[in-house]
Amino acid sequence: MKYLFKDVTVLSMNEGMEIKLSCDVLVEDDIIKAIDNISHGVAEGATVIDGKGKLLMPGLINGHCHVPMTLLRNYADDLDLQTWLFEHIFPVEARLVDDDVYWGSLLGIMEMLKTGTTCFIDMYDHIDAIAKAVDASGIRAHLSRGMTNSNEGSDFSEDKGLLENIEFIKRWNGAANGRITGAFAPHAIYTCSADFIKAILNEAQKLGAPIHVHLDETRVEHEDCLKNHGKTPTKYLYDLGLFGQKTIAAHCVWITDEDIEILQENNVTMVHNPTSNLKLASGIAPVPKAIEKGVNVILGTDGASSNNNLNMFEEIHLASLIHKGVNQNPLLVSAEDSLKMATINGARALGCSNLGIIKEGAKADLILIDPDKSHILPMHNIMSALAYSVQGSDVCLTMVDGKILYENGEFKTIDMERVKYHIDKSFKRLF
Amino acid sequence: MKYLFKDVTVLSMNEGMEIKLSCDVLVEDDIIKAIDNISHGVAEGATVIDGKGKLLMPGLINGHCHVPMTLLRNYADDLDLQTWLFEHIFPVEARLVDDDVYWGSLLGIMEMLKTGTTCFIDMYDHIDAIAKAVDASGIRAHLSRGMTNSNEGSDFSEDKGLLENIEFIKRWNGAANGRITGAFAPHAIYTCSADFIKAILNEAQKLGAPIHVHLDETRVEHEDCLKNHGKTPTKYLYDLGLFGQKTIAAHCVWITDEDIEILQENNVTMVHNPTSNLKLASGIAPVPKAIEKGVNVILGTDGASSNNNLNMFEEIHLASLIHKGVNQNPLLVSAEDSLKMATINGARALGCSNLGIIKEGAKADLILIDPDKSHILPMHNIMSALAYSVQGSDVCLTMVDGKILYENGEFKTIDMERVKYHIDKSFKRLF
């Protein structure tokens, strides 16, 4: 299949943050085949998409999510963490079955696709059901099975979560034309023993798979670690050797200057989840310092129960606002910084040089934005507009792996009515 | 004209935060005539609006805006305050003429209407042009002429700004079926001398008009006031007698506990502008404390050049997020608190018991929201959904003073193409 975006403004997200006006972009199969000066022969047979007055940019990469939790959206808000988790979230999660997870994931994927996310990095249970939803929807995802200790001791050969994560990597890594990739996910230092983390690391090494972990999200996690281990959570995981595998660490709210150096030196990606960290009252991650020190910082929504959207434009917006206010410095986390965190840095976290960028040979994960709206005009500055004014609802087309999955309110691979029917069914059973 | 909203879920915003399901609401002329159990005779001749599956709530009240600055949207971001103001904003503002202000205001009003704002509280120059835009668009507004000292000394009888503000109150207050009301606006303590503030107060007293002022927005304003006057900006204005008039004070980022008591005791309304305070790096206003002490706190967008949207759902969202994160307390500023700040508290600031609420006899300033979307479902909790998930783009109908001004992407009183033509003209002349 070929598509030709005609006469569009292209935000390439390359090193120079190049913006090309009145540009043509040819997509063939899953690849950006050519940009500008495209001869008629090469574009022959392509479906033409009128890009006049519109912006084309790389699809957004949601750096940290628990997509099935979309089922729990707007449930149990404005509560303290203990009440929220132990009285509301955990009891419902314990009742989830594969079917809930499949349809809950599709609901979350719908929101992501229509708000411009083309790839998400996830951690949850029932991972097979999530992979099936990813496969069916056409979105790109990096999945892992969130694991917590199921037993004491050091023998985890029968651990259900670990076996599922191993099985998942073997079955799904690289599936769906490479749209699905996998990682191992020790949930966090406070839910996994050192022995369990080592056992997970061992399996990750054997399969050459990366790591996705929650790191230093709350003050309690940080202080307990200092008390119990005499070191920060980052140093603790470093000493366990976890960062020897390529690691994506979510939250990093309480990391110290020394921790930032450890992350940088070990190429650990830090996921900033501004909405979730605010809503759950975790605090404000030291993002400006991490960026300054060269850490690869990316952006995530976290799950819908702590956000309550999976809308990356909200995270871009918030990331460019909050650090200015909290640090009383308007020069921190520019529009450009936030846009990088949501695109090219996400690709770097996944080790993919052909994602998060518009260039010849890159994957055709693209979004088209219509800025001809009263809430965006006048268009003084494209980068500012994208970070501060554009809404998720301004995305008019989302393409993943060269296929149009969403266009002008319509989902090409997902039947909204069917999703609603099943969500309603799950809802009635669960609550 | 009569409208009958049929079978709609009503969020009344009354004292008990009552939510009525499957409700009918009859609007006659500018008033909510009847709610539920409406006899056929009473509703006869009404245009029926199908409310099934939708939410009806009072229109949002934007507590602090500079609507003509919509022209400067996405212009000069990520800069320090001095560079932003003196090198970019002030030079452009000096070149503005009435025509720019009229069309810039209409552009801002379009954004507000389509994102659910039915009334805004504004401060700017060229106030006649703003009033004309308000009049033409059908929105409700509380306008004032932002004044700064034009001369030293104590004789302000020839002050251009003051004369214009007086003239405005006389000509426009109560105009357009009461949709337009006026206030006097000493810009701030650092741009107005004590004598000038007293002269303004004197005129406000003579005309029985309220006050709109910027208060304690930045650390510099706060510290300079302590240095120059030995007291906080709030105490300074209190001692000048300003709060003897009904006052709306924007920002209040640096107010102390004593200041909060002064505001509460003098029924001064505090406007929280979370996006603007973050973007301009002013800081975080002590909103939880002010709410706890009984201050009437409302929400505002500020101008589009420090936001860059005039979308009250973004402010509701942010107000319910940021104080939790900064204070590490997830119980602060609940969804309900933010929704009150954006509706009923705004009405209280204006001294209007018939705005910001759905009850018989109240003004028909209403918005209809369609929550049947993948980013809002499942609808566990209406209040949570409104504060955390709903986007401005989910507003499908906006009614002001009993007239539908916006419906499903269409503006009834504003010609978008004409606005764009004039914005483009202004843009080319100004930049």
B388–A391 C-beta distance less than 8 A: no
Q: Indicate if B146 and B218 belong to the same structural domain.
A: yes
Identify whether the C-beta of residue A140 lies closer than 8 Å to the C-beta of residue A365: yes
CB pairs under 8 A between A and B: 209
Average pLDDT taken over every residue of chain B: 96
Length of chain B: 431
Top residue of A72, A321, A427 to mutate, by most chain B CBs within 10 Å, is A321
Confidence band of A149 (pLDDT split at 50, 70, 90): confident
Q: Which domain-ending residue is among B303, B328, B349?
A: B349
What DSSP string describes A139-196?
-EEEEEEEE--SSSSS--TT-HHHHHHHHHHHHHTTBTTTTEEEEEEE--TTTS-HHH
Q: Indicate if B290 and B359 belong to the same structural domain.
A: no
User: What distance in Å separates the CA atoms of residue B180 and residue B143, rounded to the nearest whole number?
Assistant: 7
B298-321 tens-digit pLDDT:
999 999 999 999 999 999 999 999
Confidence band of B405 (pLDDT split at 50, 70, 90): very high
Least confident of A204-208, A332-336, A426-430, B125-129: A426-430
Asked if A281 reaches chain B (Cβ–Cβ under 8 Å), the answer is: yes
- CA B130 to each of CA B31, B102, B175, B346: distance values in angstroms, whole numbers, following the listed order: 25, 6, 13, 20
Q: Using the predicted structure, report yes or no on whether residue A150 has a pLDDT greater than 80.
A: no
A360-398 tens-digit pLDDT:
999 999 999 999 999 999 988 999 999 999 999 999 999
Asked if A190 reaches chain B (Cβ–Cβ under 8 Å), the answer is: no
A377–B73 C-beta distance less than 8 A: yes
Asked if A313 reaches chain B (Cβ–Cβ under 8 Å), the answer is: no
**Structure tokens, A325:** 């206010």
Q: Using the predicted structure, report yes or no on whether residue A207 has a pLDDT greater than 80.
A: yes
A4-62 tens-digit pLDDT:
999 999 999 999 999 999 999 999 999 999 999 898 889 999 999 999 999 999 999 99
Residue A158 is assigned to a structural domain of this protein = yes
Q: Indicate if B13 and B102 belong to the same structural domain.
A: no
Confidence band of A86 (pLDDT split at 50, 70, 90): confident
Mean pLDDT over A112-128 rounds to 98
Q: Indicate if A160 and A102 belong to the same structural domain.
A: yes
Residues 6+ apart with CB under 8 A from A94: none
Q: Using the predicted structure, report yes or no on whether residue B420 has a pLDDT greater than 90.
A: yes
Domain count, chain B: 2
Q: Using the predicted structure, report yes or no on whether residue A192 has a pLDDT greater than 90.
A: yes
Q: Using the predicted structure, report yes or no on whether residue B322 has a pLDDT greater than 80.
A: yes
Residues of A in contact with B391 (CB under 8 A): 311, 391-393
- DSSP conformational letter for A267: T
Mean pLDDT over B93-121 rounds to 97
Q: Indicate if A136 and A198 belong to the same structural domain.
A: yes
Q: Using the predicted structure, report yes or no on whether residue B82 has a pLDDT greater than 90.
A: no
Residue B83 confidence (pLDDT): 87
Q: To which H or E segment does residue A261 belong?
A: helix A257-265
Exposed, middle or buried by CB within 10 Å (0-12, 13-18, 19+), for A90?
exposed
Three-state SS annotation for chain B: CEEEEEEEEEECCCCCCCEEEEEEEEEECCEEEEECCCCHHHHCCCEEEECCCCEEEECEEEEEECHHHHHHCCCCCCCCHHHHHHHHHHHHHHHCCHHHHHHHHHHHHHHHHHCCEEEEEEEECCHHHHHHHHHHHCCEEEEEEEECCCCCCCCCCCCHHHHHHHHHHHHHCCECCCCEEEEEEECCCCCCCHHHHHHHHHHHHHHCCCEEEEECCCHHHHHHHHHHHCCCHHHHHHHCCHHHCCEEEEECCCCCHHHHHHHHHCCCEEEECHHHHHHCCCCCCCHHHHHHCCCCEEECCCCHHHCCCCCHHHHHHHHHHHHHHHHCCCCCCCHHHHHHHCCHHHHHHCCCCCCCCCCCCCECCEEEECCCCCCCCCCCCHHHHHHHHCCHHHEEEEEECCEEEEECCEECCCCHHHHHHHHHHHHHHHC
A237-254 tens-digit pLDDT:
999 999 999 999 999 999
Confidence band of B331 (pLDDT split at 50, 70, 90): very high
A73–B380 C-beta distance less than 8 A: yes
Closest by CA position to A4, among listed A413, A404, A410: A404
CATH label of the domain that carries residue B37: 2.30.40.10
B245 φ, ψ (degrees, to nearest 5):
-90, 150
CATH label of the domain that carries residue A154: 3.20.20.140
A308: cis peptide before it, omega within 30°? yes
Residue B425 confidence (pLDDT): 96
Q: Indicate if B184 and B90 belong to the same structural domain.
A: yes
Top residue of B308, B398, B414 to mutate, by most chain A CBs within 10 Å, is B308
Residue A381 confidence (pLDDT): 93
Residue A423 confidence (pLDDT): 96
Find residues 76-95 of chain A whose CB sits inside 8 Å of chain B: 76-81, 84
Q: Using the predicted structure, report yes or no on whether residue A345 has a pLDDT greater than 90.
A: yes
Q: Indicate if A143 and A42 belong to the same structural domain.
A: no
Please name the member of B307, B328, B334 whose beta carbon is closest to the beta carbon of A283: B328
How does strand A366-369 pair with strand A395-400? antiparallel
Q: Using the predicted structure, report yes or no on whether residue A151 has a pLDDT greater than 80.
A: no
B78–A419 C-beta distance less than 8 A: no
- CA A353 to each of CA A343, A346, B222: distance values in angstroms, whole numbers, following the listed order: 11, 10, 49
Q: Using the predicted structure, report yes or no on whether residue B151 has a pLDDT greater than 80.
A: no
Mean pLDDT over B381-394 rounds to 97
Please name the member of A79, A308, A332 whose beta carbon is closest to the beta carbon of B389: A308
**Structure tokens, A88:** 């509301």
Please name the member of A115, A378, A381 whose beta carbon is closest to the beta carbon of B77: A381
Confidence band of A408 (pLDDT split at 50, 70, 90): very high
Residue A65 is assigned to a structural domain of this protein = yes
Tally the C-alpha atoms within 13 A of residue B93's C-alpha that lie toward its C-beta. Answer: 19
Residue B379 is assigned to a structural domain of this protein = yes
Residues of B in contact with A107 (CB under 8 A): 374, 377
Residues of A in contact with B327 (CB under 8 A): 281
Tally the C-alpha atoms within 13 A of residue B62's C-alpha that lie toward its C-beta. Answer: 34
Residue B40 confidence (pLDDT): 82
Residue A54 confidence (pLDDT): 98
Residues 6+ apart with CB under 8 A from A401: A30, A138, A140, A177, A179, A363, A364, A365
Expressed as residue numbers, the domain containing B129 is: 60-349
Residue B422 is assigned to a structural domain of this protein = no
Please name the member of A278, A311, A317 whose beta carbon is closest to the beta carbon of B324: A278
A277-327 tens-digit pLDDT:
999 999 999 999 999 999 999 999 999 999 999 999 999 999 999 999 999
**Structure tokens, A298:** 């990316």
Residue A402 is assigned to a structural domain of this protein = yes
B250: which strand partners? B214, B271
Mean pLDDT over B81-91 rounds to 88
Q: Which domain-ending residue is among A322, A349, A376?
A: A349
**Structure tokens, B135:** 């009049």
User: What distance in Å separates the CA atoms of residue B67 and residue B304, rounded to the nearest whole number?
Assistant: 7
Asked if B409 reaches chain A (Cβ–Cβ under 8 Å), the answer is: no
Identify whether the C-beta of residue B236 lies closer than 8 Å to the C-beta of residue B225: yes
User: What distance in Å separates the CA atoms of residue A284 and residue B236, rounded to the nearest whole number?
Assistant: 34
Residue A425 is assigned to a structural domain of this protein = no
Q: Indicate if A79 and A214 belong to the same structural domain.
A: yes
Instruction: Give percent of chain B above pLDDT 90.
Output: 93
Instruction: Give percent of chain B above pLDDT 70.
Output: 100
Top residue of B326, B379, B388, B422 to mutate, by most chain A CBs within 10 Å, is B388
A80–B331 C-beta distance less than 8 A: yes
Helix, coil or strand: residue A211: strand
Exposed, middle or buried by CB within 10 Å (0-12, 13-18, 19+), for A31?
middle
User: What distance in Å separates the CA atoms of residue A376 and residue A296, rounded to the nearest whole number?
Assistant: 30
Residue A373 confidence (pLDDT): 97
Residue A426 is assigned to a structural domain of this protein = no
Q: Indicate if B35 and B123 belong to the same structural domain.
A: no
Angle of helix B312-327 relative to helix A312-327, nearest 10 degrees, comes to 50
Please name the member of B110, B335, B385 whose beta carbon is closest to the beta carbon of A374: B110
A114–B326 C-beta distance less than 8 A: no
Residue A85 confidence (pLDDT): 84
A367: which strand partners? A57, A398
Average pLDDT taken over every residue of chain A: 96
Residue A244 is assigned to a structural domain of this protein = yes
B318–A388 C-beta distance less than 8 A: no
Identify whether the C-beta of residue A413 lies closer than 8 Å to the C-beta of residue A138: yes
Which residue is it, tokens 């004789």? B155
Confidence band of A80 (pLDDT split at 50, 70, 90): confident
Asked if B220 reaches chain A (Cβ–Cβ under 8 Å), the answer is: no
B72–A380 C-beta distance less than 8 A: yes
User: What distance in Å separates the CA atoms of residue B95 and residue B55, rounded to the nearest whole number?
Assistant: 43
* Triad B210, B211, B216: Cα angle to 5°: 155
Residues of B in contact with A324 (CB under 8 A): 278-281
Please name the member of A74, A387, A393 whose beta carbon is closest to the beta carbon of B393: A393
**Structure tokens, A404:** 């149009």
Q: Indicate if B359 and B320 belong to the same structural domain.
A: no
Helix, coil or strand: residue A431: coil
Q: Taken in order B393, B394, B399, B405, is the CA torsion positive or negative? A: positive
Which residue is it, tokens 């529009």? A335
Q: Indicate if B383 and B329 belong to the same structural domain.
A: no
Q: To which H or E segment does residue A4 belong?
A: strand A2-11
Confidence band of B154 (pLDDT split at 50, 70, 90): confident
Q: Indicate if A273 and A228 belong to the same structural domain.
A: yes
Mean pLDDT over B267-273 rounds to 98
